[in-house]
Amino acid sequence: MSALLDVSQVCKTFTRGGLFSSRRIHAVNDVSFRIDAASPEIFTIIGESGSGKTTLSRMILNIEQPSSGALVFDGTNLATVRSSADRMAFMHKVQPIFQNPFEAFNPLKQLDRYLFMTRRRFLAAGDQTDIDVAVDDALRKVGLSLKEVRHRYPHELSGGQLQRVAIARALLSNPKLIVADEPVSMVDASLRMSIVNLFKALRDDLGISIVYVTHDLATAYYISDRIIIMQKGSVVERGDARTVLNAPQHPYSRQLRAAVLLPEVATPAPAAATSS
Amino acid sequence: MTAAPASFADAQQPNDDRSILSVRNLRAHFRTSHFGINRYVKAVDGITFDVKRGEIYGLAGESSSGKTTLIKTIAGAIKPPLEVVGGTVEFAFLPGYGGLHRAPPAEVARIRWRHLSYIMQGSMNVLNPVRRLRRSFADFARPHIAGTEKEFEKAVVDHLARVKLDASVLAAYPHELSGGMRQRVTIALATICRPDFIIADEPTTALDVVVQKDVLGMIRGIQREIGSSVLFVTHDMGVHAHLTDRLGIMYAGRLVEEATTGEVFRTPLHPYTRHLISSLPRIGDDVPRKGLEGAPPNLADPPPGCRFHPRCPLAMEVCSHRVPTMIETAPGHRVACFAVNGDEQP
């Protein structure tokens, strides 16, 4: 089976400091995994801040180059993607979704312009009606419509709606892989599940694989097929999401699992809480 | 102003003498004025609740539900365009003024930190980045603690031990500590004067899950030890379930439900609360969860009647033109919903 994304023994080292007292920080240390082209899946990278999960996702997006090891996407080694034509071809297939939708969009720019721009850049430009239809189509996949978004500025929409526009924009180029870095941590609680469910629908209906980067074990359990748990740049545990999260083996994964605060009250409320 | 709207009928609750904070009918609006047209954003609109001595009162609500504006108003941090339009905030240790913003500055300076302190979300923004932590402690707490310099230093070191920090952090600058350690320093800073009331605004949201659990445990431990009351604000229901004694749920500037935390989680009544709790995914549970349709309302132009009715699965005709009042359905359990309370007359 051919691999959609093959990450093999990737390391990333940042050097801090000057000529005389430099310090090397191993942000990502020997990480390997592959996502098959034949079976779309939601692949989750879990870790706390400083675990290297964002650096890893930036390397998958080819924003950051690995210090050693190789990332191969759809048969192309990302290190060879240098010319702007190659980069466009790569971005055509891999699209990002970022954590904070309020920062991802320029507040002074109307949202539909992002959508039109993406459409013109990645697909042969038709006339405005064709573009409208394509944009409306993408927005409908995320539960919005062009009518709601046209001529609107980012501050006029809620965080959940904005994040959906970001997803619709990513869908416009018909990607094979979406890299979503903490896509729901800035979204309101009542809207979070609709975004998470949307990722499921993208996988099941459109056959898009998703790399889901998060620190939230509960949503990871809810949507992912496979997970890796990272600590200080290294993968400490990997496997089927259900198996790993139900019975974590590595001490760090157990610690993470134990630290999840369940949204339920098991014991009767303490005496101090009883009303007078 | 004409006759009080229906939502204020519950303002006349008996004032529990065990309560340390009584908020009555509080309304705080943001006023913006463009070309002579005034626009009001009703961020806090008729909120009434009490916090008792020695309890942790949780406030839950999503972004733009007005929870931060509410605690700003309670803390007296009112700057234009925020205005207190009506209602009172009464602390047991500052009686008679109806709010910090109405009290004379000398009185406020007297109670600040001694009786009322804060734990904020961004620990980096609380601590002075160019001063060692020893100086921060002196700035905040020295005026309120009598004794010699030596005794003060000893009190600080003893207190830092409560949050499992070593005396050596006093010589450090804030940037030299990790996020979890910094947040523990701000907790120590907020509790060193043994205040009666602590306002905690999302103190653990920026922390990692493992660290978060430790920090919550410390807040709980210190609160039990010094007997303070805590007003704990976060949108994370897991944190509320873990920490708080009583819980108030806010939606679009109003309180919609209030009960002991156990009761809110076991028998939520308001449709918004029910959704909030049932939509949370849990590890080991594969039930599909649904998001709520629609978006939180724009508070500059909120829907009439019950502000939740455009998204409510139980919405009735009455919900769109009358405001439901908070009614006690069981002892200590108040909820504002026509579908739960029936079409009551105020």
Partners of B247 in beta bridges? B58, B259
Please state the rounded mean pLDDT for residues B206-213.
Answer: 83
| Distances B212 to A249, B204, B205, B209, B242 between C-alpha atoms, Å | 22, 6, 8, 5, 11
Q: What is the pLDDT of residue B140?
A: 87
Which of A185, A193, A204 to mutate to test binding with chain B, by most B CBs within 10 Å of its CB?
A193
Q: What is the pLDDT of residue B345?
A: 52
Q: By mean pLDDT, which of A184-193, B29-38, B227-236, B327-336 is the weakest?
A: A184-193
Residues of A in contact with B51 (CB under 8 A): none
Write out the CATH class of domain B6-115+195-281+292-341.
alpha beta
| Distances A13 to A46, A72, A79, B236, B308 between C-alpha atoms, Å | 20, 19, 16, 35, 50
Nearest CA of chain A to the CA of B229: how many Å? 11
Instruction: Identify the closest residue of chain A to B240 by CA–CA distance.
Output: A263
Residues of B in contact with A255 (CB under 8 A): 210
Nearest CA of chain A to the CA of B54: how many Å? 8
Alpha-carbon Rg of chain B, whole angstroms?
Answer: 21
Instruction: Identify the closest residue of chain A to B285 by CA–CA distance.
Output: A222
Q: Which residues lie below 8 Å from residue B6, measured CB to CB, with a gap of 6+?
A: B322, B323, B324, B325, B346
pLDDT, mean over chain B: 86
Q: Which amino acid is at B24?
A: R
* pLDDT tens for each residue of B55-64: 999 999 887 7
Please state the rounded mean pLDDT for residues B65-90.
Answer: 89
**pLDDT value at A65 more than 60:** yes
**pLDDT value at B6 more than 80:** no
**Would you call B281 an interface residue with chain A, using a CB distance cutoff of 8 Å?**
yes
**Would you call B30 an interface residue with chain A, using a CB distance cutoff of 8 Å?**
no
The residue with tokens 């978004």 is: A149
Between B38 and B131, the more confident residue is B131
- Interface residues from chain A to B (CB-CB < 8 Å): 48-49, 157-161, 188-197, 215, 217-219, 221-222, 245-246, 255-265, 268-270, 272-276
Between A122 and B27, the more confident residue is B27
Which of B13, B32, B216, B289 to mutate to test binding with chain A, by most A CBs within 10 Å of its CB?
B289
| Distances B1 to B4, B10, B83, B304 between C-alpha atoms, Å | 8, 18, 16, 18
* pLDDT tens for each residue of A213-256: 998 888 999 999 999 999 989 999 999 999 999 999 999 999 99
* ipTM score: 0.75
Which of A163, A167, A186, A190 to mutate to test binding with chain B, by most B CBs within 10 Å of its CB?
A190
**pLDDT value at B327 more than 80:** yes
| Distances A6 to A34, A81, A96, A226, B128 between C-alpha atoms, Å | 4, 15, 18, 15, 46
Residue numbers of B between 209 and 238 with CB closer than 8 Å to A:
209-213, 216, 235-238
**Would you call B287 an interface residue with chain A, using a CB distance cutoff of 8 Å?**
no
* pLDDT tens for each residue of A115-157: 998 888 887 767 888 888 889 988 888 888 888 888 889 888 8
**pLDDT value at B20 more than 90:** yes
**Would you call B14 an interface residue with chain A, using a CB distance cutoff of 8 Å?**
no
* pLDDT tens for each residue of A74-120: 989 999 988 989 998 999 899 999 888 888 899 999 999 999 988 88
Q: Which residues lie below 8 Å from residue B50, measured CB to CB, with a gap of 6+?
A: B13, B15, B16, B19, B21, B22, B23
**pLDDT value at A272 more than 60:** no
The reply to whether residue A265 touches residue B272, judged by beta carbons under 8 angstroms, is: no
**Would you call B241 an interface residue with chain A, using a CB distance cutoff of 8 Å?**
yes
User: What strands lie across the sheet with B327-330, from one edge to the other?
Assistant: B116-119, B197-201, B229-233, B56-60, B246-251, B254-260, B333-335, B327-330
* pLDDT tens for each residue of A2-45: 889 999 999 999 887 776 777 888 899 999 999 998 899 999 99
Instruction: Identify the closest residue of chain A to B263 by CA–CA distance.
Output: A269
Quick check: pTM over 0.80? yes
Instruction: Identify the closest residue of chain A to B14 by CA–CA distance.
Output: A276
Please give the full DSSP string across A26-51, using - where no structure is assigned: EEEEEEEEEEESSS--EEEEE--TTS
**pLDDT value at A188 more than 80:** no
The residue with tokens 């939740």 is: B308
Please state the rounded mean pLDDT for residues B76-99.
Answer: 88
The reply to whether residue A218 touches residue B235, judged by beta carbons under 8 angstroms, is: no
Q: What is the pLDDT of residue B120?
A: 83
Among A171, A229, A237, CA closest to A198: A171
Among A33, A26, A14, CA closest to A237: A33
Q: How far apart are CA A73 and CA A35, in angstroms?
A: 10
Q: How far apart are CA B217 and CA B228, in angstroms?
A: 15
Confidence of residue B76 (pLDDT cuts 50, 70, 90): confident
The reply to whether residue B208 touches residue A215, judged by beta carbons under 8 angstroms, is: yes
Partner-chain residue, chosen from A215, A245, A270, that has the shortest CB–CB distance to B283: A245
Write out the CATH class of domain A39-63+84-257.
alpha beta
Nearest CA of chain B to the CA of A156: how many Å? 9
Domain range summary for chain A, segments of one domain joined by + = 39-63+84-257
Between B135 and A269, the more confident residue is B135
Partner-chain residue, chosen from B55, B261, B293, that has the shortest CB–CB distance to A265: B261
Instruction: Identify the closest residue of chain B to A189 by CA–CA distance.
Output: B62
**Residue B276 contacts residue B89 (beta carbons within 8 Å):** no
Task: Label the pairing between strands B82-91 and A3-16.
Answer: unpaired
CB environment A235-248: b (16+ within 10 A), e (fewer): bbbbeebbebbeeb
Helix (H, G, I), strand (E, B) or coil at A109: coil
**Would you call B274 an interface residue with chain A, using a CB distance cutoff of 8 Å?**
no
Residues of A in contact with B216 (CB under 8 A): 261
**Would you call B16 an interface residue with chain A, using a CB distance cutoff of 8 Å?**
yes
Task: Label the pairing between strands B19-34 and B37-52.
Answer: antiparallel
Please state the rounded mean pLDDT for residues A154-178.
Answer: 88
